[in-house]
Amino acid sequence: MNTILKTPRGLVAALVMAGVIGGAGAGLVTTHLASAQQSPAPAVATAVSAPSGAPGAATLPSFAQITSQYGPAVVNISVSGTRHASASTDDDADDDTPAAAQRQQPGMDPNDPFYQFFRQFGIPGGGGMQQRQMPRDVPVRGEGSGFIVSADGLVLTNAHVVKDAETVTVKLTDRREFKAKVLGADPKTDVAVLKIDAKDLPTVKLGDTQSINVGDWVLAIGSPFGFENSVTAGVVSAKGRSLPDDSSVPFIQTDVAVNPGNSGGPLFNARGEVVGINSQIYSRSGGYQGLSFAIPIEVASKVQSQIVKTGKVEHAKLGVTVQEVNQTLADSFGLDRPEGALVSSVEKGGPADKAGLKSGDVIRSVNGQKIIGSGDLPAMVSLATPGSKVDMQVWRQGKPEDIVATLGNASDKAVKVAGADDKVAPGKLGVALRALQPEERKQLGADGGMLIERAQGPAAKAGIQAGDVLLSINGTPARDVDQVREAIAKAGKSVALLVQRDGSRIFVPVQLG
């Protein structure tokens, strides 16, 4: 199973994006359902009352009609292929597990009684002595889900499901199997479009995320652990959720049970319309723990349209690095609440630079849509069309300003969101500064600022280090010591320091004692 590990101060969690059954490299697959034109009338979940004698009897929906009507459009996807890897017979004293030994000594079963005997003499197949690495092809096999969006054989699934696949097989509920062609896959949104040679196939009806609210019932159909057409239900936990993997997708969060093999499958609302594609789970163990994430169907439909039309997907870019606005930063910039995307750096010559965006601006809305968290911005920008114009309202120097930018083409570069691990804890201010020498300025690539020679007490607690370059205080450029002192004196209870370290820039919120 492929996982993305995140360890924010003691918490160990994993964004599970691939459930492997029988091999490495294949992703979780959840069935995709689409094609509003050719789908029958939407089913409606019927209410089923709990027995009157049950304590706190409640009315629960029945998804039997939805499952019966649209279940046949949910497919099982199996993939196979090879992945190029290097096989080594190096002796590893720190990793002596059977699995590790088998990985290092492919020529002999580690359970063989003569395994250790040969290994100590360095005989090939028994390990022991460092030998030349040999490239080899590792089989890749996996199983997942997908759903049919057109009667002539278009199928939606996750991009990670078909990654590294040489052969993709789609199996219907009537046991028919078809070899599928991957028309295209977009890793940024994790959406892939397949095509099978068939006609008059069952399809699903597409809905939209505007039709669901937090607390609404939703239904998932897929192939968890290879159990085809398994049905699970739950409620919508959140909408527009950003994940800490630099994703450009505003996920639907649910508590629907999603496990390896579910990925790529459809998420239905109570009217039988597909509102999302099950994609990821957030877990400590790699299994379902009540946090599942689905790609909004609007995102998937847009990707599908581009792939079918051109065979590729283009994403827009603004050319900024943004970070979250917490309460301390909001106080420093004079915001009424901690919302928006704080611009920590602007790409030179990029769309934002040409539009006049500056470091220290807080982007509060794009085309009239509010930016609550910094993760909202990459989703809005990346899914726009390159070359399109966006109207942004930004907060600059204590007042709002309107800026219009023409988006560029991402070309495999997405808007970067500074994660929680990039931010430091708030604290007081205490630094020793000196002007940058011309050679230092050139080496650091800094247009201005002052070198922090020493950080002690409050500054050190905030994470400021010797060698950092202080660029601005609350948006005011740091040109000399007197100017820095003046900016600190005018500040309220906190200040926002823009610091450059190792070529990266980030705002550090500091509370003044």
Helices and strands in the chain: count of H runs, count of E runs: 10, 32
Rounded Cα distance between 469 and 436, Å, is: 9
Residue 160 is assigned to a ligand binding site: yes
Give yes or no: 78 in active site. no
Residue 382 near residue 414, CB atoms below 8 Å: yes
The one catalytic residue in 35, 150, 263, 279 is 263
The residues that bridge with 252 in the sheet, in sequence order, are 294
Q: Which residue has the tokens 């006609």?
A: 199
Catalytic residue among 190, 361, 376, 468: 190
Which of 160, 237, 283, 301 is labelled catalytic?
160
Give, for 119, the enclosing helix (H) or strand (E): helix 115-120
Burial of 454 (0-12, 13-18, 19+ CB in 10 A): middle
- 91 classed as catalytic: no
* 84-106 residues labelled b (16+ CB within 10 A) or e (exposed): eeebbbebeeeeeeeeebebbbb
Residue 160 known to be catalytic? yes
The Cα 10–Cα 365 span in angstroms is 34
Do the annotations mark residue 261 as ligand-binding?
Answer: yes
- State how far the Cα of 400 lies from the Cα of 241, in Å rounded to an integer: 26
* Residue 115 near residue 126, CB atoms below 8 Å: yes
Reduce the DSSP state of residue 242 to 3 states and report it. coil
Burial environment of residue 436 by CB neighbours within 10 A (0 to 12, 13 to 18, 19 or more): middle
**Which residues belong to the annotated binding site?**
160, 190, 261-263
Cite the active site residues: 160, 190, 263
**Which residues belong to the annotated binding site for substrate?**
160, 190, 261-263
